[in-house]
Structure 1
Amino acid sequence: MEELEIHRPEGVRLQKVLASAGVGSRRACEDLIEAGRVRVNGEVVTQLGVRVDPDQVAIDVDGERVCVDSTALTIVLNKPRGVVSTMSDPEGRPSLDKFVSAYSERLFHVGRLDADTTGVLLLTNDGELANRLAHPSFGVNKIYVAKVKGQVPRSLGTTLRAGVDLDDGPVRCTGAAVLDIGKDASLVQVELHEGRNRIVRRMLDAVGFPVIDLVRTQFGPIRLGTLAPGETRELSPAEIGKLQQAAGL
């Protein structure tokens, strides 16, 4: 691999790049390299003298992508109910701008959540990453938990995985499960990579169980966790790396 030629004057030592990305101390990163646990552009690197251009290489540690771009910024927001998924709204409705006003970078929201849906919404300064994560062809799954009207059958998960016909074409969940069954309402978990407008609500309505509340609990490898509605947090380089890997970058 010519770009990994030892002692080239340009580039940054690999262990320094890893340490700057938060993988560990410089010494710990050297140990990872010597143990053969680091790959650069798919090639195992075991020599400590290797220099790389962080903007031009993909680095994996133990098979997990690590984001080594110091300018990369991705934020996860627990979008509250009533907020529209735009940076500003001509109708004056609450939008995303107030949640990212502290950042000078231009941020792109990854896909959308309708105003009544809460949960994981990603915002990033990487336009290509945003486009790939949102496009169904890359198969990045999202997980939702829906509170629906009625007492659902245990077989509902099978029905959703088999597919549901909607006005704009069929949709099939990659995963679905009934979490709880109540007399008047039930909880259903739905996993899919579709991004059509209000797709989860329309799917559940089509099988006879209208949605009362809907929350997206996970987008690719990023989970909602303990974030309260309206709270944000910056993703770590390791988390951004996992998103890049999921998006095929």
Structure 2
Amino acid sequence: MFLLRLQKYMAKCGVASRRKSENIILEGRVKVNGKTITELGIKVDPDKDVVILDNKIIRMEKNNVYIIINKPEGYVTTVSDQFNRPTVIDLIRSIDERIYPVGRLDYDTSGLLILTNDGNLTYKLTHPKHEINKEYIAKIKGIPNNKSLNEFRNGLKIEDYVTSKANIEIIETYRQNSQVKIIIHEGKNRQVRKMCGKIGHPVIKLKRVAIGDLNIDKMKTGEWRFLTSKEVEYLKNL
């Protein structure tokens, strides 16, 4: 639940400054869900509560927010968690707007995540029909041979679906493990991990580094920033 003090809500609706809004409340000119409010300290839910000023409903103007974060491992990509695990929202400070993660990254996966309150952009970035590339760097057990790599590229039967064609390249090998770059345009639950497991090379560590041309570059783990207007326009035009 996202709550705002009534005077702050009124200010965001363009009624007046917070201080002037406090005076308006004390004058008894404001109702919340039909009840006249004459004292300060009341909080409202912008999504649920009905606020009336001088017999007219007031609504908060929506300010679209676009954020990119380099998500650490150990955070869930939800607004709240029933098991009280830390969420990516805990990492974002000083944002009044109610924002949501676009898609998901597993609890144990790090990397690029977008957060916004723009429903149209969220739909565009998450709907399979738009086929937006997502790039991952994965450390996996073993070193896959050409047969396994081609199976990965051509689509794998996982549970009740077959994955679309994907790309996988070995970028580094170790004694018993390897590091690969993977590009997919789907986003099913734990898909990259399941695909790697299917070819017999389970994921040890996984990081998403890019969505389309948008990447986390040199962002530190846990660091976030607002997307530039150019980046937002790019995502909208994908």
Same fold judged by TM-score > 0.5?
yes
User: Could you tell me which residue of structure 2 aligns to residue 162 of structure 1?
Assistant: 154
User: Could you tell me which residue of structure 2 aligns to residue 190 of structure 1?
Assistant: 182
User: Could you tell me which residue of structure 2 aligns to residue 80 of structure 1?
Assistant: 72
Counterparts of 1:221 and 1:117, CA distance in 2: 20
Q: Which shows bigger deviation, 81-90 or 203-212?
A: 81-90
Describe the SS at the equivalent of 1:148: strand
Identity %: 36
User: Could you tell me which residue of structure 2 aligns to residue 104 of structure 1?
Assistant: 96
Describe the SS at the equivalent of 1:129: helix
Provide the aligned C-alpha RMSD in A. 1.6
Counterparts of 1:155 and 1:226, CA distance in 2: 34
User: Could you tell me which residue of structure 1 aligns to residue 202 of structure 2?
Assistant: 210
Counterparts of 1:179 and 1:90, CA distance in 2: 38
- Pick one of 167, 179, 198 that aligns with 1:175: 167
Counterparts of 2:149 and 2:235, CA distance in 1: 27
Count of paired positions: 177
1:112 corresponds to which letter in structure 2? R
- Pick one of 74, 77, 95 that aligns with 2:87: 95
User: Could you tell me which residue of structure 1 aligns to residue 136 of structure 2?
Assistant: 144
Q: Does 1:229 align with 2:209?
A: no
Counterparts of 2:208 and 2:147, CA distance in 1: 22
User: Could you tell me which residue of structure 1 aligns to residue 119 of structure 2?
Assistant: 127
The within-5 A match list for 1:58-69 is none
User: Could you tell me which residue of structure 1 aligns to residue 45 of structure 2?
Assistant: none
Determine which structure has greater relative contact order: mean sequence separation of CA pairs < 8 Å that are 6+ residues apart, divided by chain length.
Answer: 1
Q: Per the alignment, do residues 179 and 208 of structure 1 end up closer, same or farther by CA in structure 2, a change over 3 Å counting? A: same
2:172 corresponds to which letter in structure 1? D
Describe the SS at the equivalent of 1:233: strand
Deviation readout 1:46-90 (Å, 9 max, x if unpaired):
xxxxxxxxxxxxxxxxxxxxxxxx944211111110100101112
TM-score using structure 1 length: 0.68
On the 8 A contact 1:152/1:181 being kept in 2, the answer is no
Question: Which ranges in structure 2 are unaligned for 5 or more consecutive residues?
Answer: 1-61
TM-score using structure 2 length: 0.71
